[in-house]
């Protein structure tokens, strides 16, 4: 298996740079690679490069970009807004959300939110590892938590917010997406909002549903765990309106 690494450095044919600690540990200690071994490199903006370990010494690992293997391609602009969950559940959510093409993770504090803090550094590391494994060309951003009120007041009209509503009126997600007018489907960007384990307060859901950029969606008759609901909504979105029709690079 050729290791695939996210790097912060600019990538051009022939670029050489020192690997950061995370990459050095992974290549030298975990994968036991050495000088000359092949790599795949991406940095979120210059595409993907075939590369190699140019120099491998105990405290210094030099990587080299050899040739462009994939052009930087546009990836979906899809946000996941979620009420912070317990550590394992939020790690799971970020890993799977990254695989499902989320471009931004926005924690949102609601009335029943279990915890109002997240570890942005750890979650960013989870997103980087998932992006490396699922062969995407970007790494989603993990933002600091904001209140539901701040989300509402700061929202831009050109992004449609799909609110996963466990109660009250909500069309099944497939029907809700297919009923969106073609201009919304084409011109708008999208976001999914998932409530906390304790659920949205009724008045929170009522106020959200009155907003012109909100589409409430149902995810079936069962009460799903928040992280399950997020995956169900993201997978449905990608299949119906997103990039679900595209094929992985190797088979392109
Ligand atoms: N405690 C809540 C209750 O008992 O009604 C359940 C909250 S659920 C564990 C967490 C979040 O997942 C909800 O706020 C909602 O966003 C989403 N969710 C779960 N099941 C859903 C469904 N069947 N339809 C739409 N959203 C759902």
pLDDT digits (tens, 9 = 90+) for 116-169: 889 999 999 999 999 999 999 999 999 999 999 999 999 998 899 999 999 999
Q: What is the pLDDT of residue 157?
A: 85
Residue 194 Cα to ligand 1 midpoint, Å, equals 8
Neighbours of 8 (CB within 10 A): 9
> Which is the closest atom of ligand 1 to the Cα of 200?
14
Q: What is the CA radius of gyration of the chain?
A: 20
CB 24 within 8 A of CB 61: yes
> Which is the closest atom of ligand 1 to the Cα of 223?
20
Cβ of 111 below 6 Å from ligand 1: no
Q: What is the pTM of this model?
A: 0.95
Q: What is the DSSP letter of 100?
A: T
Cβ of 173 below 6 Å from ligand 1: no
Cβ of 229 below 6 Å from ligand 1: yes
Question: 3-state SS of 172-230?
Answer: EHHHHHHHCCHHHHHHCEEEEEECCCCCCCHHHHHHHHCCCCEEEEECCCCCCCHHHHH
Which amino acid residue places its CA nearest to atom 21 of ligand 1?
A: 166
Neighbours of 60 (CB within 10 A): 10
Which amino acid residue places its CA nearest to atom 6 of ligand 1?
A: 199
**Percentage of the chain modeled with pLDDT above 90:** 88
Coil, helix or strand for 145? coil
Cβ of 220 below 6 Å from ligand 1: yes
Coil, helix or strand for 134? helix
CB 161 within 8 A of CB 180: no
Paired tokens of 230? 């997020």
Cβ of 109 below 6 Å from ligand 1: no
Residue 218 Cα to ligand 1 midpoint, Å, equals 9
Q: What is the pLDDT of residue 180?
A: 82
> Which is the closest atom of ligand 1 to the Cα of 221?
23
Digit-coded pLDDT (tens) for 36-91 = 999 999 999 999 999 999 999 877 899 999 999 999 988 889 999 999 999 999 99
What are residue 184's phi and psi, to 5 degrees?
-65, -45
Q: What is the DSSP letter of 241?
A: T
Q: Say how many Å lie between the first and final Cα of the chain, rounded.
A: 19
Q: What is the pLDDT of residue 214?
A: 95
Q: What is the pLDDT of residue 58?
A: 74
Which amino acid residue places its CA nearest to atom 27 of ligand 1?
A: 166
Instruction: Give the chain's mean pLDDT.
Output: 94
């Amino acid at each position: 298996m050729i290791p695939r690494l996210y790097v912060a450095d600019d990538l051009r044919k022939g670029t050489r740079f020192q690997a950061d600690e995370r990459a050095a540990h992974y290549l030298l200690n975990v994968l036991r690679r050495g000088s000359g071994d092949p790599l795949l490199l991406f940095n979120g903006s210059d595409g993907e490069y075939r590369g190699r370990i140019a120099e491998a010494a105990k405290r210094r690992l030099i990587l080299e970009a050899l040739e462009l293997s994939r052009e930087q391609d546009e990836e979906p602009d899809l946000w996941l807004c979620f009420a912070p969950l317990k550590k394992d559940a939020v790690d799971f959510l970020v890993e799977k959300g990254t695989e499902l093409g989320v471009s931004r993770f926005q924690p949102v504090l609601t009335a029943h939110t279990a915890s109002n803090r997240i570890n942005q550094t750890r979650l960013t590391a989870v997103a980087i590892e998932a992006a490396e494994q699922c062969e995407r060309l970007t790494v989603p951003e993990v933002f600091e938590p904001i209140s539901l009120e701040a989300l509402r007041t700061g929202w831009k009209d050109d992004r449609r917010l799909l609110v996963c509503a466990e109660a009250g009126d909500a069309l099944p997600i497939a029907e809700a997406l297919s009923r969106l007018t073609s201009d919304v489907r084409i011109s708008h960007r999208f976001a999914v909002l998932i409530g906390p384990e304790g659920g949205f307060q009724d008045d929170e859901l009522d106020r959200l549903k009155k907003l012109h950029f909100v589409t409430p969606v149902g995810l079936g008759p069962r009460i799903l765990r928040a992280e399950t609901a997020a995956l169900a909504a993201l997978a449905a979105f990608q299949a119906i309106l997103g990039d679900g029709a595209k094929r992985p690079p190797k088979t392109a």
